[in-house]
């Protein structure tokens, strides 16, 4: 088959390339200089939050009618990828803002959207509260309860592993409203940080993403207006699963950014580092490692972008393909992030093991991408079930 002179290689439309340039410039100038200090002092990246809020990249997915930019899922993953390329902790600002509001966007009432979404577009943050100490991968085993009391719901229980917990203004909270109905007895609520009976507990001490607080939440007769239930009673677990189909690619994007950042640092280093009279980039074993790293990154990028694009199609095109690709992109990209960051540390030798370079931080940050928003084992279960129908 002859060459087609009109053929152009696959490339993103110009608007997405412009978006990448804009967010990369912001990330390198406003976020990267603080990434080391954020990690070493386990402090929230306030500089990143301010820069993202000012630019509108904090929650690019919020529709325009609620004060947001109305960016699609592909735009959101590009933003997250580019922030993660310089700081994994900071990338959780846009990523978790989407996670904390996606259920509302998919299933919430217009009244509730008008109450919450302008806050997020305006710079406040949202978090997602599904997991409990005894209900992680088995989320349907949750013990948090909500009972109707007049025009309110009263929530009792606790949630754990809440990303950006204590920093967020709004929380999507899953609670059991009918203990006899199994997964169909779970409902979703929007809880505000100022609601009576809500409090934030202690923070986890973690291997990575140290700049993003991971907190426990407590609900002690927490009173929430009935208007803050997301969708109909008993649809919370369905909303939770639909949310993950839309947000797992964002974790894939975070992983992709970490891998790209580590790769970029490694390439720059091997060009400068000399051993045996020449740059170590000239050795074939170095080139083979870099080639393998680059192949994995490019494959992961296509999977993440495809999964994100699937989320924008009509409901008739979603179904199994959306869930399958969301789980696959998250699992594959996070495995790639772990592999690439480990190899990048190896290429720097002893220097890679020190905090003088960002590689060890990226390696530590990458590990969580294999665990949260569905462990990679759970993602493979999701894929297997959909493959077998």
Positions annotated as catalytic residues are 373
C-alpha torsion angle, residues 10, 11, 12, 13 (rounded to 10): -100
Distance CA 287, CA 115 (A): 54
**CA distances (Å), origin 275, targets 47, 64, 272:** 39, 55, 10
State how beta strands 170-176 and 126-129 pair: parallel
Q: Token pair for residue 137?
A: 């991968």
State how beta strands 214-225 and 152-163 pair: antiparallel
Q: For the beta carbon of residue 301, count every other beta carbon within 10 angstroms.
A: 20
The closest alpha carbon to 61, from 248, 206, 250, belongs to 250
Distance CA 359, CA 85 (A): 11
């Amino acid at each position: 088959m002859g060459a087609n002179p009109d053929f152009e290689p696959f490339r993103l439309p110009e608007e997405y390339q412009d978006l990448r340039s804009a967010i990369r410039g912001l990330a390198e100038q406003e976020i990267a200089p603080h990434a080391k200090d954020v990690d070493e002092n386990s402090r929230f990246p306030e500089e990143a939050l301010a820069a993202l809020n000012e630019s509108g990249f904090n929650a690019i997915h919020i529709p325009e009618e609620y004060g947001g930019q109305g960016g699609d899922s592909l735009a959101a993953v590009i933003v997250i990828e580019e922030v993660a390329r310089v700081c994994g902790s900071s990338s959780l600002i846009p990523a978790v803002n989407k996670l904390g509001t996606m259920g509302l966007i998919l299933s919430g009432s217009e009244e509730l959207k008008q109450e919450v979404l302008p806050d997020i577009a305006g710079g406040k943050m949202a978090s997602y509260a599904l997991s409990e100490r005894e209900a992680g991968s088995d989320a349907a085993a949750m013990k948090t309860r909500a009972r109707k009391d007049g025009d309110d719901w009263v929530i009792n229980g606790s949630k754990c592993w809440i990303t950006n917990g204590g920093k967020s203004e709004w929380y999507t909270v899953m609670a059991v409203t009918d203990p006899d109905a199994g997964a169909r007895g779970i409902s979703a609520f929007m809880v505000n940080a100022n609601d009576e009976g809500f409090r934030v507990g202690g923070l986890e001490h973690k291997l990575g993403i140290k700049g993003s607080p991971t907190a426990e939440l407590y609900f002690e007769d927490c009173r929430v207006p009935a208007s803050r239930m997301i969708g109909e009673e008993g649809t919370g677990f369905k909303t939770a699963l639909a949310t993950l189909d839309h947000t797992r690619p964002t974790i894939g994007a975070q992983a992709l950014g970490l891998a790209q950042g580590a790769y970029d640092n490694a390439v720059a280093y091997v060009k400068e580092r000399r051993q045996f009279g020449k740059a170590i980039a000239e050795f074939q074993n170095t080139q083979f490692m870099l080639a393998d790293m680059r192949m994995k990154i490019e494959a992961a990028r296509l999977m993440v972008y495809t999964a994100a694009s699937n989320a924008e199609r009509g409901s008739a095109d979603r179904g199994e393909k959306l869930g399958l690709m969301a789980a696959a992109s998250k699992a594959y990209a996070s495995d790639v992030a772990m592999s690439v960051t480990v190899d990048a540390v190896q290429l720097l030798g002893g220097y890679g093991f020190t905090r003088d370079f960002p590689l060890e931080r990226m390696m530590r940050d990458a590990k969580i991408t294999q665990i949260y928003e569905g462990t990679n084992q759970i993602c493979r279960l999701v894929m297997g079930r959909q493959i077998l129908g």
